[in-house]
Amino acid sequence: MTSPSLRVLVLEDHAFQRSVAVNLLRELGCHQVFEAADGAQALAVLEQVGSVDLVLCDLCRKGLDGLGFLQQVCRHGLVRAVIISSSLPADLCRAGRQIITLLGLEVLGEVRKPLQLQALEPLLSKLQASRYTRPAAPRSVTLASEDQVRRALDEQRVQAWYQPKYNLLTGEVCGVEVLSRWVHPFLGIVSPAAFMPVVERCGWLDELLYGQMNHAMQLHKQALARGFDLNMAFNLHTRQLLDHELIPSIQRILGRHGVSGAALTFELSESGLLEVPSTSLESLLRLRMLGCQLSIDDFGAGYSSLKRVCQLPFNEIKLDAEFVRSLDQEPRCQVAISSTVALGASLGMSVVVEGIETPEQHKAVLALGCIQGQGYLYGRPMKSGELLSWLNRRTMSGADSSLEPGWRVVEYGN
């Protein structure tokens, strides 16, 4: 039985089907169930009762259809998740799921008509469980001003936080990704989406990177002294590759801290690799010559060709998290993951799967041949002191104890 705290809206134009859905939801423990016959009526219901956790929605109807309704409500954060109830062909439902996901809504799955209790119950349980493992999608992001970001950088409030990367077979922590978090004195932890566009626009990316590296190199030595040899992965923008001072600056930081380049990985988003000029290619090559690893981040989310992947000196692929999130609803994602693993093996590149949040996803990607992963199931982004304490606790209690329902820091400013 699900929690009665779930608020559900049934959007169905067929009166009998709507009645069946409402009764099944109440039988499953959802005491707050609202109903509407069309999109306009559904909007009126939400205006009266407020936001809901779930909409059980048929995409195809007269007037304001399901997609049109969801496009309107997502702008105001009135709906968190969607179950598609439809008799449309599978390929049309698949396209509908992709559109809904792009709207920022979680698609729990699809149920066919007539609606059955055994099809609906696991999807509701999935929604109930996800309430404790991941936050609702942010409604909007307010971009910080240049003065605010500049002051935050000067006061060192934009800090390096660390998220573990795992060997999925052994549970061993094989590295960490270095992330930026703005620790605001009043707002708490501000989302990177609120300040990173400003950092990029104002040309402060190098300043941020070098500050992160100095902090991370200190942490690397502290971790090494405790027996943890952590590879540190930094996000690098393709425009930074054009700077002739990039490689010398990285060399100076490594020399200052007495750390080998083999301890570093630089991640570049796939979308920025479509056109890489010769100057950038030289920088990539020199990073590899320093011993650094190079990773294609968010692979599968951009548009770079396989030819570019073969041309550039990368040795790691980080598969975009959306493939894992869509495993249950989209069978093609399984093929995409296994094909990427095979591609990596053929090219001599390791593959890291991002976005693993549940034990079921962990088992699924292992079965598809994945060896390395990252996600809230294993560890949240944390400050350096928290990371060292967390590593010590894992050592004392055993690596498998870390594979528990993940959690993440609450990001303000969304």
pLDDT, position 137: 43
pLDDT, position 17: 87
Provide mean pLDDT across the span 163-184.
Answer: 93
Provide mean pLDDT across the span 179-184.
Answer: 92
Q: Which tens digit of pLDDT belongs to each residue from 223-246?
A: 999 999 999 999 999 889 989 999
pLDDT, position 409: 32
Please provide the size of the chain in residues.
414
Taking CA atoms, 396 is separated from 117, 260, 387, in Å, by: 45, 28, 14
pLDDT, position 140: 47
Is the omega angle on the peptide bond into residue 114 within 30 degrees of 0, that is, cis? yes
Provide mean pLDDT across the span 259-270.
Answer: 92
Provide mean pLDDT across the span 260-267.
Answer: 96
pLDDT, position 213: 97
345: closest CA among 324, 322, 368? Answer: 368
pLDDT, position 303: 57
pLDDT, position 250: 97
Share of the chain above pLDDT 70, in %: 86
What's the whole-number average pLDDT of the chain?
A: 83
- The answer to whether 31 and 3 have CB atoms below 8 angstroms apart is no
Q: Which tens digit of pLDDT belongs to each residue from 379-414?
A: 889 999 999 999 998 888 765 444 443 333 333 233
CA distance 117 to 366: 31
Whether the predicted pLDDT of 211 surpasses 50: yes
Domains 7-130 and 146-402 share a fold: no
Q: Tell me, which fold does domain 146-402 have in CATH?
A: TIM Barrel (3.20.20)
Whether the predicted pLDDT of 135 surpasses 90: no
- Strands 231-235, 264-269: pairing is parallel
Q: Which tens digit of pLDDT belongs to each residue from 312-322?
A: 899 999 998 88
Residues involved in catalysis? 354
What's the one-letter identity of residue 393?
R
Reported as a pLDDT band with limits 50, 70 and 90, residue 57 is confident
Q: Which tens digit of pLDDT belongs to each residue from 281-299?
A: 889 999 999 999 999 988 8
Provide mean pLDDT across the span 37-57.
Answer: 86
Extents of the domains making up the chain? 7-130, 146-402
pLDDT, position 398: 65
170: closest CA among 385, 405, 378? Answer: 378
pLDDT, position 18: 87
| List of residues 6+ apart from 165 with CB closer than 8 A | 173, 174, 175, 176, 177, 231, 233, 352, 372, 373, 374
Whether the predicted pLDDT of 142 surpasses 80: no
CATH class of 7-130: alpha beta
Out of 104-113, 200-209, 389-398, give the one with best mean pLDDT. Answer: 200-209
Residue 315 CB neighbours (<10 A)? 16
Among 52-66, 75-89, 225-239, the range scoring the smallest mean pLDDT is 52-66
Provide mean pLDDT across the span 181-195.
Answer: 87
Q: Which tens digit of pLDDT belongs to each residue from 339-388?
A: 999 999 998 999 999 999 889 999 999 999 999 999 988 888 999 999 99
Out of 21-25, 64-68, 104-108, give the one with best mean pLDDT. Answer: 21-25
Share of the chain above pLDDT 90, in %: 41
pLDDT, position 74: 74
Q: Could you tell me which residue, 191 or 354, shows the higher pLDDT? A: 354
pLDDT, position 91: 66
pLDDT, position 136: 43
